[in-house]
Structure 1
Amino acid sequence: MVNKIRKMVSDGSSFDARTVSLRDYISKDDEPDGKYKILRRVKTPIQRIAVVRQKNGEVLVYGDGYVMFGTTEDENMWAEALVHIPMSAVQTPKRILMIGGGGGITTREVLRYTEVNKVTVIDIDDVMMDLGKTFKPLVKFNKGSLNDPKVRTIIKDGRAFVEKSQKQWDVIILDIPEPSYKALALGKLYSREFYRLLKKRLTPGGVIAIASSLLSEMPEFCWSIVATLKAAGYYVLPYHFDATEKYEQDWCFCIAATRPITPSDVNIQINTSFLTPEKIRDMLQIPLDYQRKWSDRMIQTDSNKVLARIHEQH
């Protein structure tokens, strides 16, 4: 439930570029093309949230000015890439932990596996989670995943939840914003210390999947995550989803395991819209022009600003 002291605007008003305060909700860099309407604006203790409907009827959800998720084709691409590669690398994925799944879209994909019997979805902001549960366009898009009886939703910082829990999961999926100088605390969800903690929360044979930003814009970000995971004692398989032809982006992801993991471990057995065998082969090969050497200087820890610095440089 939304705290009564929060102010929500749900006026359906058109965006007025002269109203500077709205830039806190919709940044100029991430503003939709063409006409759109702001359906809701909410200032929570965590962030400023805006819900926007575009002319074509698609909905976008913003957090502090930038798109977090939406009812769009590229969102389906992202969810398939993030979920199905790691899920296919585990023999029987029964228990799943999702950190940063307020929109319910990645949860929708996880629930396609009949062997899954328990999904725990963590989000720090109850308003984001509530949108995924009750906002009709999102509920239709995520197929009511956050209201599924197999799903438990928890409002909490992901790091704090993992630190206090003693449970184990077969697949842990992290889909959270990048650390920046405006959000340094997010670095503790990408750190060597946190990754070491996650090792204790994996069942034998389990894997972690991490959304690792844009390979096409800041490949150093992805390779820093690879370096950090290796420093935490994991075997790592980075992969990507090239959507440059249509969306001018190439997304990076990482699978991490406590056992050797190779492309041959990826064997998707369910039908997907975008992950054809040819596409999967491409995804598991990082283009040479994106590859970077890594060093100890690229390791994110609880006490440094490595990823925020990379983010700032781009």
Structure 2
Amino acid sequence: MCLLSACQPQATRLLLLDLTLSEPAVLNGTAQPWRDEGYHVEYRRFFPHLTRADLDRYGTLIVLLGREPEAPSDALNTGDLALLTEWVLRGSVVVLGYDADGEGYLDRWTANRWLDFVGAGISIGDRLLEDTTGRTPTTTGHPQPWAEARAVGDEPLGSVYDPFPLERNNVVTARDITQVLAVTSRHAFVRAPRVPAPRPRAAVAAAARVGDGLVIVISRHALGTLGPQFRPSTAPILQLDALARTRAFLTALARWTRRPAEWAHIPPAAHATPLVLTQAPVPVELASPPGTPPREVDTMSLPVPADPKLAHATSVPDWLRQQGMRVLWTSL
């Protein structure tokens, strides 16, 4: 008898790598839309790099990029770039989830060099999109511009969605408008060095066909909108209908990756350039692609089920109940 994960066909197995080594529970919101669309999501926490064995095991890859040099994390290396190229040329799907809002410059820079190398026609900007016209209260007090999906072909991305929250995003530039999957609000702007620069309807998610495969570029925060993240969420407070639209878009995106016939609406890669990493802000690690992960590193399925022990109410000490009531009812 084979293990359940080993019996899953390659096309429905998804590998999630996170260069920040996040706790599994933090990635539940990222994994859930893909799980809802039939993917078996596996997370390899303590070795967030590609191996040659992954090429045959998984059909889809989500790479959540790191936070260097602004904050400590792991980072893409040359072995990752070599296997990313082989991955898409073999007809598989790569989703690059970059870090926005002031961190992750190194991996954004490296990812942009790789996107140029494969001719994707997509570039990740370094400035956060903002929109001060929003009046929707958020947990951070800083509203982010909502997104609007662009219709791409027929179902599932051919549907029309009302604007929905999509967390933090930088400007994503695409060579062709038909590569754009979602755009920001009409009043969005970025904080340029001197004055705010308007960026209405700027792209926040884009895709390219590379070889027989597909590359999608979107922020890691957008991918994780439906759950907790390592930064405070900018999701709107008490607007479940808005988050339902976010879920509809993210699940449609996951469903779309399983329908190669629909990728024909996305232009193919063109104008590839040599891969030059010598001008990186921090030296990119030179590494050969490993054959397999280290023996002591395991993968786990996501989303992580809730611990039933946490569902039971815990007893509160008498002193806390009494003191707490006095504090709450004291006149301010």
State the TM-score bracket (shorter-chain normalisation): 0.3 to 0.5
Q: Which has the higher strand share?
A: 1
The structure with the larger Rg is 2
Normalised TM-score (structure 2): 0.35
Q: Which has the higher helix share?
A: 1
